[in-house]
Chain A
Amino acid sequence: MNSPSAALTIGGVTKRFGGLVAVNNISFTLPANKVLGLIGPNGSGKTTMINLISGALKPSAGAIHLHGDSISDRSASEIATLGLSRTFQIVRMLPGLTVLENVQAGGVFGHRRMWGTELREHSRALLQKVGLQGVDDTVVSALTYIDQKRVELARALVADPKVLLLDEWLAGLNPTELKTGIALIEQLRTEGRTIMIVEHVMDAIRSLCDTCVVMNSGAKIAEGTPREVLSDAEVIRAYLGDIDA
């Protein structure tokens, strides 16, 4: 069923919170070495979708496969060791740890397990890659919000994940920072990483994504290339509201 190049397969996934259906029978596929954008208005269920994939939440129905392995019934830590990393919409730092240790955290028991010098050197290299230098031993609370986001990205990358989920990683950046941010993800993409991004920044969606899935009120309303979906009438209506009504 799963085509060999499918990194992540979402099959008919539903999540209910009491009476609220936050994710409603969603299916899509993220091919390996591609970037998929998941977009939709506020509260449409994007973060819930990420939580379902990463194992933070269990689906009420449906199946999720990572490179053919069913992960919808596994714990979040197992899913991480199978090679899935994520960042959080609201940055989650480990406040008692240094910047370097925050990055190392991703590698101790992650998909690629490392320890000691290897982990330290690898984490340093990643900090440099995301553009953070000379702050290895500072406490994370001393960093700006943007730099904390960089640390979180480095932490997600350190275990060399097969699939990376970014939840509004570009939100809150100013125009210059946004450019660097987009360039950074672009670099990950050219390395051949498989990424799913949730974004409200349409420029980023246009320039980064191979395909796009659009959600509204928990349901999938469109899928296709960024150009196709962003000109779709229903998508425009979902974002701007029904003008006739």
Chain B
Amino acid sequence: MSNADTHGDTKPTAFAQAMLDLRESAVLSGTEKRNLAICAIVAALWALLPLFSTGYILSLGISITIFAGLATSWTLFSGPTNYISLATAAFFGIGMYTVAGGVNLLPYPVLILIAAVAGALFAALIGLATLRISGVYFVIFSLGLAELVRQVVSWGQHVMGTSSGLYVLVDRSDSVFFWQLLVFTLVVFLVSWWIGRSRLGFALRIIGNDEVVAVHCGINTARAKVTLFIISSTFAAIAGALVAPRWSYVEPTLAFSPFLSFQVVIMSLLGGVHRLWGPLVGVIPFTIMWEFISAKFPSQTTLLLGVAFLLIVYFIPHGFVGLIEDFSRRRSGIWAALRSKWQAKGGGHE
């Protein structure tokens, strides 16, 4: 029966295989249904925020929503693979500049689409150049990427004789803006969840564990990595396009600030990159704390951000999720110990 040759000619076509995959993954387990329900309730509650608050709280809510989306999409690629991308700002800036440059020419939704395509193409180029070779080259490449794009954009503006700052005047109330971002972040979540339970997500975890084993399991590692990198970067570009109107004035040094890449990495790490909800757990406290710090020590932000980063790398290397899971494991360990002790005592009484 298990003669090796029997499967050679019964291989399903790629399309049939894809349909089978789809049917298989459409079956949700009980826990998955429960988690989706929880997720929907939390999102619905969060969507009510603009009805109760305006101004400061709402803008904090906006920051949290946008960083939740960015950090989750960062983790989608960098979490399972351990390929640390320091280039979020490059893609974010591309999205922002697409909107800023075209806002007087094309309707806003079209610009968002163009931003997504531009981000995807750029990510594909970078992925194909760097991700076929493993490891550290990718990180290095991503390190200066935002600065590179900034230089090129500034140069382009200089050559075309446009001024470096651009105004993005799109009429949006804060609430509509908030809901837009919320939808974006929900899409990021759903896509990440879907990928996480797909073949592709599993392949990526294998790659992150041992790339040599991955290729010998038949995984086309380059294709898997490039695909995920494109998806993750496209989200960053869309985020930039969505945020552009809120900034209303866009300038290369702001749009491509390395600060953003740094914040996204730090929040994801703080939360934990091996769970879907990990980044979210990092984003909320960090954004709130950051509001406070940048208000109190406006001139020391870079220094303090660096210090916070080191603290996280050294003291909570697995993020809050790691802490929580350690704690619950220890607690269940204690319970088990107590129970066996109690049972032993009970045994003694008999």
Contacts and interface: CB of A to CB of B under 8 A. Distances in A.
Interface of A: 32, 54-56, 75-78, 80-81, 83, 85-86, 92-97, 101, 104-106, 108-113, 115-117, 155, 159-163, 191-194
Nearest to A163: B4
A83 B203 contact: no
Interface string B17-49: 100110011010000000000000000000000
A62 B213 CA distance: 25
B4 A104 contact: no
A108 B17 contact: no
Contacts of A80: 215-218
B216 A85 contact: yes
Given A115-B21, A160-B4, A193-B4, A96 B208 contact: yes
Interface of B: 2-5, 7-8, 11, 17, 20-21, 24-25, 27, 199, 202-203, 205-206, 208-210, 212-221, 274
A162 B9 CA distance: 13
Interface SS majority for chain A = loop
6 contacts: A54-B216, A95-B209, A97-B205, A105-B213, A115-B199, A159-B218
B217 A155 contact: yes
Given A77-B219, A97-B205, A92 B210 contact: yes
B213 A116 contact: no
A160 to B, nearest CB: 6
Of listed A85, A93, A94, A161, residue having the most chain B CB within 10 A: A94
A92 B213 contact: yes
A96 B209 contact: yes
A94 B217 CA distance: 12
B285 to A, nearest CB: 26
Given A56-B212, A96-B209, A113-B17, A108 B5 contact: no
A94 B206 contact: yes
B3 A192 contact: yes
Contacts of A112: 7
Contacts of B219: 77, 108-109
B4 A161 contact: yes
Query: Which 10 A-B pairs have CB atoms at the shortest separation, nearest pair first?
Result: A80-B218, A94-B209, A116-B24, A162-B4, A76-B215, A109-B218, A81-B218, A110-B218, A77-B215, A109-B219
Given A56-B216, A80-B216, A160 B221 contact: no
B280 to A, nearest CB: 21
Contacts of A161: 4
B116 to A, nearest CB: 28
A88 B205 CA distance: 20
B210 A76 contact: no
B219 to A, nearest CB: 5
A232 to B, nearest CB: 31
Contacts of B24: 115-117
A83 B4 contact: yes
A101 to B, nearest CB: 8
A32 B5 CA distance: 10
A108 B203 contact: yes
B209 A97 contact: yes
Given A112-B7, A193-B4, A105 B215 contact: no
Contacts of A92: 210, 212-213
A76 B5 contact: no
A116 B25 contact: yes
A230 to B, nearest CB: 29
Contacts of A85: 216
B336 to A, nearest CB: 16
B220 A109 contact: yes
Contact of A105 (B3, B11, B20, B217): B217
Contacts of A77: 214-221
Contact of B206 (A56, A78, A105): A105
A108 B217 contact: yes
Contacts of A106: 217
Contacts of B17: 113
